Structure 1
Amino acid sequence: MNVSFFIARRYLFSKKSHNVVNVISAISVCGIAVATAAIVCVLSIFNGFGGIVEGTFNAFDPDLKITVKEGKVFDYHTPEFEKALQINGIQIISESLEENALFMFGESQVPVLMKGVSEEFKLMTDMEKLLLEGSFNLREDVVDYTTLGSGLAMTLGARPGFINPIEIYAPKRDVRVNLANPAAAFTRAYIQIGGVFSLNSPEYDEQMAIVPIQLARDLFGYENQVTSLDIKLEPNVSVNRVKREIERILGDNFLVEDRYQQQKESYRMMQIEKWVTFLIMVFVLLIAVFNLVGSLSMLIVEKRDDIKSLQNMGASEQLISRIFLYEGWLISFIGIISGIITGLALCLLQQYFGLLQLSDTPGAYIIDAYPVIVKMTDVVIAFAVVSLISLLTVLYPVNNLRKKLQQ
């Protein structure tokens, strides 16, 4: 066994009186453990919230979304698209046409983002999980239905089951507004309220209304054009593989996005919040690690007689320095391991028992307790960062000792 490590281990674990050095060493271990556990818990909670948001968007967003890079709409009835949409792994293809329109209900007038979808949209998305009221229907017999975002429904004062329909005004393309008769520049239609959905996102909840795509085409004067093609893949199919093949066939004029790219701003914001919080926790760790400097410095002072004895026995400066270097690393390692175990235990307790609640009122939010998802990559990052900071901190008192030994 390494002599330096053996002596350092004896200093740490041997029976000795409970003096100030022992207390400070214990505080150092506890400080590092608490900071490490906090980092693991905070990162896991952010993962949990990210999973909630991701799950909500995944219920609405397709596996792949094809849009045109220049312009707004495109006709996909071309040989290139016919070949691209026959790639192995594609299960469902849904048409989507998004345009701005004006909804009128009673005395309320609200500009909305009208999303026209084909019948395949029902098979592609899990709208039942997102519905707050009513049901998701596009058309029954000759009646068209719309599904409104929760904020939009509240602004309009509209709910499923109301007899009166919503009146839609859509601007005609390539038609100038005649001030003498402005109504002539708009196409008008009526639609019944089928349901109300919520994604807990203002962009969707307060602005979007889902309607049949044929109604949207009639209102805006389109024939077969779409703003996007939404694709659902078969289970266990590689999204990246299909995405690359579609991009190769369609060329540079079209953009093919997976779910993360479709919501890249939301995902980027969540990641920024997560790692900014991580940096704040690292600063807290730095404060906790200062105790390690104090305990190691005081240990060096306490062991002056031992240092002299080792020097008289022929111990080199490097051997003596390594003793206290290993001592600091052992304290750090015990704190890090204890913190990771404690953090994982707290995460598991929160995951299975929901000890920390979001609100005292059940059902006030989508979930009642803080969500937790533990990722091993985060645990490894926490271990690496805390280890690096702790090991570098130990070098300060050890270098001071080495300078004194050289004098």
Structure 2
Amino acid sequence: MLSSLSRPLSRSALRGFATVASANPADKYKVVVVGGGSAGMAVTAQLARDPLFKGKKDILVVDPSAKHYYQPLWTFVGAGLKPFSDSEKPMSELVPEEAELLQKRVTKIDPENKVVLTDGKEIKYDFLVVASGINVDWDKIPGLQETLGKDGVTSNYSAESVEKTNEFIRAFKGGNAIFTQPATPIKCAGAPQKIAYLAEEIFRQNGIRDKTNVQFHTGMGKIFAIDKYAAELTKVCQSRNIDVNLLSNLAEIRPDRKEAVFKNLGPQGGEKTIKYDLLHVTPPMSAPKFIKESGLANADGWVDVNKETTQHNKYSNIFALGDSSSLPTSKTAAAAAAQSAVTSHNLLSTIKAAKETPSTYGGYTSCPLITGRGKLILAEFSGYTGQPQETFPFNQGKESAFSYYLTSDVIPAIYWHGMVKGHWTGPGSYRKFTNPLSSN
């Protein structure tokens, strides 16, 4: 995903890392990677290790940001369990020496051979990787932009407001605490409800739970897509008196009256207006506009690729992975890790015109569902089959302290030192050893 804009680094801070080509990028590169998020960084690092690129700077990563964020950590930040600084690193530290980083925004892609930047400059490519992430549509909910970070309205999906979430939760004195999830595809699909569980726990600790009505509103028809985990999450909500409202989509915020308007997406239709004292919003999301306008997209706006090989269905020199791709699975960093190995292998085979059997992606993704401090349901599954693909020899659908520790401390380290450095592509190859008796 494209990282949020931030202040550029000084030249002294860039020594030993990738060249920042903001001023004078070359006119053409062997590979251009659009997007410096989880997916883009992972593929770039894997490509850079191949002898084809040794001693060259023939890979260009285009991303407008100076900071790279590990966004799955923002649930912990929003609950005061981790500092925000743990979730960020300079982009330049992650781009390998064989590549260049261009801190510009892509506004158009010519599928034949070039990308166009906001300043009008054209950069040609032989091969293109699109990993530009998902667009967060703050403007699609009237009243959200002007009130975000104020008067109890917050979101863990923004670098600017995630710390406000913790501030508002800690200062909460009772009333309606509302947490929302839109009907659109989103990144980290479990995050909207995870913060509800952590907030509810804090309300109990602060002695105000009896004065608090915790509500979770989702535009989806289920609390979670995979039945095994949905059943356990439903039990958690029932045991903790969290009011779950399905097919209830946030349509408008009226900050002057502290009201949230929800549209019922069920057959009965209609709207419901609810007073809020705390409102955590997960905004609707969509494919980036420039993808829709570049002739690369399917009918829904995502880069139209083969779901097994990640290669574009029309242009053989273009690949896509991560949140902006059409791969029909949950949009998570875990999915991007697994996809990156397939993309880099198949792209290198295409570049070298090697007659190899393509590497294939089976839809693996993971969603660590934090239900409280020290408690977590570790959902692992294929988005293609809907079946669990659990890595450990215990029932990951149950709350576990081990799964919590793995998510809070181990996986972030794997991310920074493994995934974005090209050394970690998911647990698939280890599963036959870690969970040999599993049928999933």
Q: Give the shorter-chain TM-score range.
A: under 0.3
More strand by share: 2
TM-score, normalising length: structure 2: 0.20
TM-score, normalising length: structure 1: 0.21
Structure having the higher Rg: 1
Higher relative contact order (CA closer than 8 Å, sequence separation 6+): 1
More helix by share: 1
